[in-house]
A and B are shown apart, each in its own frame.
Chain A
Amino acid sequence: MAIHPKEQRLVLKYADEPGYTPHIDSYLAHGGYDMLKKAVTMEPQAIIDEVKASTLRGRGGAGFPCGLKWSFVDRKSGKPIYLICNCDESEPGTFKDRQIVHKDPHQLIEGMMISCFANNVAKAFIYIREEMPYGAKILDQAILEAKEKGFVGDNVLGSGYSCDIVVHRGAAAYICGEETGLIESLEGKRANPRIKPPYFPAVLGLYNCPTIVNNVETLCNAVHILDLGAEGFKKIGRPNNAGTRIWCVSGGVQRPGYYEVGEMTLGELVYDVCGGPLPGRSIKAIIPGGSSMKILKNGERYKGKNPDGSEYDWGLEDIPLDYDGIAAAGSMSGSGGMMVLDDTVSIPAALANLMAFYSHESCGQCTPCREGSLWLKKITSRMVHGQARPEDVDLMLDVAGQIAGRTICAFGFAVAWPVQSYIAKFEDEFREYAAHLSDPNADRQAIKELACNG
């Protein structure tokens, strides 16, 4: 894929260069593993401090500061500390980690080894999505290559430090990407997320040992923080949003794909980089960070106060493309899976599709999510099948409200937020369904397939 001039590539810097392969020689030819060589000469705490100072935030979804996460790890328990790379990229609309794994696996391994060294980890796992069999093969091969060169395994680069990396193929469920569900799955059990308290991974994680779980992109950034230094890294992007982010743009744009950018607005990405909507269409709404995030409606004004007291008043295209910018607009940047909905999309049908997905992926452990998600699927599916009732819109809001914040894991929010935000922004479309009982112009077969694929 050609690199757009407005991109600022760091993690995917070499991935798309002609002739660049996943083989270790390609990586070494581009300065690979130099940072690991530097790291093993440093004090582990100095690396942690550097990552903390870089204000790197997690790229997996919640955007939690990485250095802070590392600082929570219980280092006094005497138990081994584990590091898990969360490569279960299963949020609909997200495909960035796949690029890294497929094209530049050694960067991930180097990032992991730096992080492992910093946190005194002797065994690390890459939990890779079951649906990425090719990626798992590439990683296995890459680890072999790295072991041969002494970057992974016993006595890394002669430093006396040893750490092994194990690739574990996931159990093919959305919930396997939830931190504690992933840990359960890695232990060989059903990926039922754990209750917190007491099972905070930093204290009681994998095999009840302190555990760090980081996203692929986050771990890769450890390499670049050592390379650029915390200060250099912070120069990319706005304060508290340091570093580049890989955005996965899909849906109604001319050039969907993945784009790694620094400081930029949503409009620049969608209109300049991705070429805007398809000819003759217009953008109706954007889901900024994977399917569970709240929808942003085009044409709406996003107003509020900045922390410094100044006021902002953005259109959709003015929203700064980072954690705080999208949060200020009322949504979240999530996993960077941006879905663009153009004017051909029926919002209730899109919601029905999404609810089919979430009810299918609810692990079924706790009551509100288990029952609420399927109920919402049944309502939305009935709705787009021409049997909407006037009371359905309020009922859906009620059901979503009964799920959000009452579940074991954040999946409850992932179910509730789309319902709440779609209805908040497009209530008239839902009311229309209810008023006419059905949409006379709807392609009934298409809607049926859309709504019932769960």
Chain B
Amino acid sequence: MAEEKKDNLITVNIDGQDLQVPPGTNMVEAVKMLGKEVPHYCYHPKLSIAGNCRMCLVEMGMPGKDRATGEPMLNEDGTPKIMWMPGPAIACGTNAAPGMHIKTNSQKAIESRESVTEFLLINHPLDCPICDQAGECKLQEFSASHGRGYSRFVEEKNVKPKRTRLGPRVTLDDERCILCSRCIRFSQEVAKDDVLGFTDRGSYSTLTCFPGKELANNYSLNTVDICPVGALTSTDFRFKMRVWFLKETKSIDFESSVGCNTVVSSREGKVYRVTPRRNDEVNDTWMPDSGRELYKQIEAEDRLSYSTVNGVGTSAVEALKAAAELLKGEGVAIVASGRNTVEEQFVLKQIADQVNAKGVYLVARYGEDDGILISKDRNPNVRGALATGLISDLPAEQLSVLGSQIDSGEVKTVLAAKEDLVAAGLSEEQLKKLKLVAIDTHATATTRNADVAIAGLTQFEKSGTLINQQFRIQKFHKAIPGPVGSIDDLAALSAIQASLSGETYPSVVGTVWEKIAAEGSIFEGLSFKGIADTGVLLDGSAFSGLAFVEGKSLHFEPQVVEVAKG
């Protein structure tokens, strides 16, 4: 045993190897620190301990103490004598204590895992060939790695309900369920919507919704993510694609300033599903259902697939030329978006300076926060606009100031980047007075009235960064190419800036970052590549005077705006 103890760490011994861990560390996690795995089903790092699957059984022992004297018992060679417990213990329910020894691969531990695997399989339908979970199923994986490979069960299997609709988005197959209770604990502890439970007893136990209830909360699909088997499946994703064909791309949920980390799964240019990605500082392992639906906008009917000049379809190059010409005119204002990336906002700021803009506006989007992972601010990147200097105050929901500038004739030209001006309070009459350049992904009143409309990209088709409510800058990556005829938003803005300034301008995220980071701003020293997958916390103290709207959510406490005390 290692003698030194630093920072209150204690020493435990796993399979003969000493390891220093904080006291109370869960032994499943401790084993993980050694790069090993204790197989488990019911244990989930973000849920309470149930200890019911019994898959993580290990041998456990503590240093013995002489009952009479209280002195530690020693082996002949002076090492502490370990008193092994007669039966196996569950690693998930065992917290590290000084001197604790566990064996994860002893004969007894291996035999225990084989037993549990056999028990879990006897009433399981073994329908992997038609099961959506195949390929990402813990039961399938552990049956291969910890099973015996043959069956001794000759009786009839239990029959349970199939294809049960638990709610609008979740379908349940009870025969596949291994009764780990993860979904029940998630509903109680995280979603705070206690609607799931078991009926019946013993092997006939059946997962079900309480009578008159359904699993309809906005976090219901997390139960599908944490289901270790194919019992809970996403009604949307069911039977669409084999998971092993899917390419996984790290992304961010765009629906609010929380910025849940996600994984976008796609194949051959088509997105099939969006699932959460673990970030212990932001969203743990969860995300809202609503954010998973956003991929459907990619193939929406009103998607713009080519650019237009005066309503006539044209190439992106021609459209960008025409746009730059318009913006060289008098009285230019810019309407940017809280859905633009930091890079786009940075280039928009350059354009605003170049054309000596009469105004730069953002459109605020507010909704109810749910206290979990959706905040009041439904723009994912208002803080990016602040940090790049594009705007200096929090945006309004309506563009009334711009409206009066148009009415007075002060503003004659508008560049709208991913915002519909009509939805933000301007009238189509006001738009008709303008020379209008619009970049967007879908047809809106603005693109219909635009002199130049540029077909841009959704967040699934481009890369970039966003700054969330914690002032954490997080990056997302391109999962699929955009439609033929579209152009990358950042490339379009860079091309416009190049035309306006007459100088070359970087057009991809990585090179734009060289300019962003060189500014001596809060981005100093950063690069796109250098931002970790779980983001980098920026110093947002410069903006602490602003009255941000976000309330409390998971891992976020709103900063109390200091009120001077009289």
Contact = CB atoms under 8 A, between A and B. Distances in A.
Contacts of A379: 155
A418 to B, nearest CB: 16
Given A195-B93, A375-B155, A370 B203 contact: yes
B202 A361 contact: yes
B54 A368 contact: yes
A378 interface: yes
Contacts of A406: 54, 57, 87-88, 112, 115-116
Interface in B444-487: none
Interface of B: 49-55, 57, 86-88, 90, 93-95, 112, 115-116, 118-120, 122-123, 152-156, 158, 178-179, 197-198, 200-205
B51 A371 contact: no
B51 A364 contact: no
Interface string A336-360: 0000000000000000000000011
A52 to B, nearest CB: 18
A197 interface: yes
Contact of B93 (A197, A359, A370): A197
Contact of B54 (A197, A375, A382, A407): A407
A376 B52 CA distance: 20
A115 interface: no
List the 7 closest A-B pairs by CB distance, nearest first. Answer: A364-B205, A405-B87, A371-B119, A402-B115, A362-B202, A374-B203, A378-B155
Nearest to A359: B202
B244 to A, nearest CB: 27
A371 B120 contact: yes
Contact of A367 (B119, B201, B204): B119
Interface in A360-406: 360-368, 370-375, 378-379, 382, 389, 395, 398, 402, 405-406
19 contacts: A195-B49, A360-B201, A365-B179, A366-B53, A367-B55, A367-B178, A367-B179, A371-B119, A374-B123, A374-B204, A375-B119, A378-B155, A389-B154, A395-B152, A405-B87, A406-B88, A406-B112, A406-B115, A408-B52
A364 B122 CA distance: 15
Contacts of B197: 190
A407 B204 CA distance: 18
A312 B149 CA distance: 47
Given A405-B88, A406-B88, A364 B54 contact: no
Give the size range of A's interface with the partner.
20 to 34
Given A364-B200, A374-B202, A195 B116 contact: no
Given A366-B51, A371-B123, 4 more contacts: A195-B93, A371-B120, A374-B202, A406-B88
A395 B154 CA distance: 11
A173 interface: yes
B156 to A, nearest CB: 8
Nearest to B53: A367
A414 B87 CA distance: 16
A376 to B, nearest CB: 10
Contacts of B53: 366-367
A40 to B, nearest CB: 37
B52 A366 contact: yes
Given A366-B53, A379-B155, A407-B54, A371 B87 contact: no
A370 B88 CA distance: 18
A407 B115 CA distance: 12
A389 B122 CA distance: 18
B160 to A, nearest CB: 12
A364 B201 contact: yes
Contacts of B95: 197
A363 to B, nearest CB: 6
